[in-house]
Amino acid sequence: MNVFDAVKALVAYGLEHSLIEKEDVIYAANRILGVLGLEPDGDFSCEGGESAPLEDILKVLLDDAAHRGLIGDGITERDLLDTRLMGELTPRPSEVIKTFKEKYEVSPKEATDYFYRLCRDNDYIRTYRVKKDRKWKAPSKYGDLDITINLSKPEKDPKAIAAALNKKQNAYPKCLLCPENEGYFGRLDHPARQNIRLIPLKLNGEDWYMQYSPYVYYNEHCIVLSKHHVPMKIDVNTFKRLTEFVTYLPHYVIGSNADLPIVGGSILTHEHFQGGNYEFPMAKAREREKLGFKGYDDIEASVLDWPMSVIRLKSADADRLVELSDKILSCWRGYSDEENEILAETDAPHNTITPIVRRRGELFEIDLVLRNNRTTDEHPLGIFHPHAELHHIKKENIGLIEVMGVAILPARLLKEMDLLKDALVNGTDADAVPEIKAHADWAKEITAKHGNINKDNVDDIIEQEIGLVFSKVLEHCGVFKDDESGRAGIKRFAESVN
C-alpha cells in the first residue's frame, strides 16, 4: 500500500464506520492530503479505497510523513499527526451532541453505545494499544479482583502528583481534563485532541461534560469533568452530582477520587469523576455488618466485607442519601482514633472520602470509602498506602479505580514477571538477577508455598500471587483493619455520627 492508497483507505475506513457520509468522501480526502502535504497527480481518485486495519493504514501514512521530514519518527510526533488525521474524519461536536440526544430519547444505553463506538472508531480510544494490556481475574477472600498490567499509559509518581497542585497553571489548556482540549492541536508535552468529543451535562445546576478515557481500564470507562479548572473537593455537592449522574445514566456507575494527595488520583487540580458500564468487584462485596444512623431509619446501612473501610448506604430517596453521606463526611473530616493510627489533622487535614454511586433498580447505592493520608518517618508515602514491602509490585497512589477492586499495575512488571517465572522454574536465585532483585523475598515465599513450580503451572501461580499482593495493597489502605481493633473502630466511628 503506497501513501495515496493509504489516504483512500483511511477515507474508506471513515465511510465504513459512519464517521463520514458518502457526500463527504472528496472533502475528507482533500483535507487529509492537505494535512500530509501531499499533491496527487491528475489521475488520483478519492473513491475506491480498500478496507484495511486502521493501525496499518496509519502506519503507512506516518512512516511516509517521517521519511519526508514532515515529522520526527518518535512516538509523540507520530501521535500528534495521526490524531490530527483522525480529527479530519470525526464529526463536529454539535453533530455528536445532536446524535447523542436523539439516541437518548430511545434509551440512555442507546446514547452511550453510540458515543462509545464513535470514540473507538475515531481512534480517540486506541483499541490496538489497549488490547496489549494484560488482564485477568484473581481470587481473594473478598471475591475475585481484576488485575491489569497497564501497557498503554505511564503511571505517575505520587510526589509528582502532589507537586502538580503547586505548579503555576499558565498553559493552554490548563490540564488534560479542561474542556478546552476538544479539538486542541497538541504539542510535545500535551497530547493532541482533535478527535475527542464531549457530551454536555447539567449536574447540580452546573456545567459538566462526559468523555471516555483513552485508556479504558474497564468497559465504557468514562470521565465526567467540570467546565471549570478547579481542584478536587469532596463535599455535599459531590454527592448531589454523583446521584444526578446515575439518574441520567442509570446503567453507569460513577465515583470520585478523594481530594487529598496520596489517597487521591493522578489529577487533583481539576474536579472530575470516573465511571462506566461495569460491575466492579467492590459492587459484588457482601455486607459484613449492619449499621444504624439515628434519624435515618429509612436508609439501609452496612459495613462492607472489603479490604478497605467502606460504609454502604441504600435508599430510593437520593436526597436522603446525600444528606446522610454529607453528615458522615463531616464527622469523618474531624475524627481521630489513635488506637488505629488515625489522626484527623496534624500540620494539615488528613481525612477524606472516596465516594461511589450506582443504581440497583429503583434504589440508589452509595459506597463511602474512608481515607487518611497521614505520613510518618516509617511510612513516608502514607500509613494507609502500600507499604515498602509491597512496592516491588505497587508503589503508586491507590485511587478510585483500584479502591473498587481493579488493579492498575505498572508496565515494568510484564518483563520482570517473565524473568521471575524463568527463575522460579529453573531454581535460580532472584537475588542474582538484577532486574528482579526487588522480587527476591517474594520469590522465596512463592517457592516455599507452592513447592513444585514448572512451566505448566508457573503462569497461574504468578497471576494468583500478584492478586494476593494486590489484596494486601488494599488492606494497607484500609483505615480500620479487618481485626478486632479495626472492627470495633469502624463501629465507634459510625456511632459518633449519631
Residue range 274-302, pLDDT digits in tens: 999 999 999 999 999 999 999 999 999 99
Positive or negative torsion for Cα 473, 340, 160, 270: positive
Cα separation, 241 vs 31, whole angstroms: 40
Query: Cell 453528615 belongs to which residue?
Result: 327
Q: Is the pLDDT of residue 161 over 80?
A: no
**How much of the chain, in percent, has pLDDT values that exceed 90?**
86
Cα separation, 394 vs 382, whole angstroms: 13
pLDDT for 178: 96
Nearest to 372 by CA among 404, 340, 396, 394: 340
Average pLDDT over residues 347-362: 96
Average pLDDT over residues 461-479: 97
pLDDT for 265: 78
| C-alpha 380: how far from chain center | 25
Query: In DSSP terms, which residues pair with 201 in a beta bridge?
Result: 208
> What are the angstrom distances between the C-alpha of 150 and each of 102, 412, 460?
35, 9, 19
pLDDT for 429: 94
**How much of the chain, in percent, has pLDDT values that exceed 70?**
96
- Alpha-carbon dihedral angle through residues 86, 87, 90, 91, given to the nearest 10 degrees: -170
Q: Is the pLDDT of residue 165 over 80?
A: no
Nearest to 18 by CA among 121, 124, 96: 121
Cα separation, 75 vs 134, whole angstroms: 21
pLDDT for 160: 45
User: Average pLDDT of the chain?
Assistant: 93
Average pLDDT over residues 88-103: 98
For residue 423, count CB atoms less than 10 angstroms from its CB and return exposed for 0-12, middle for 13-18, buried for 19 or more.
buried
Query: In DSSP terms, which residues pair with 345 in a beta bridge?
Result: 349
Cα separation, 176 vs 207, whole angstroms: 17
pTM greater than 0.85? yes
Where is 145: in which H helix or E strand?
strand 145-149
pLDDT for 106: 98
6-15 residue pLDDT tens: 999 999 999 9
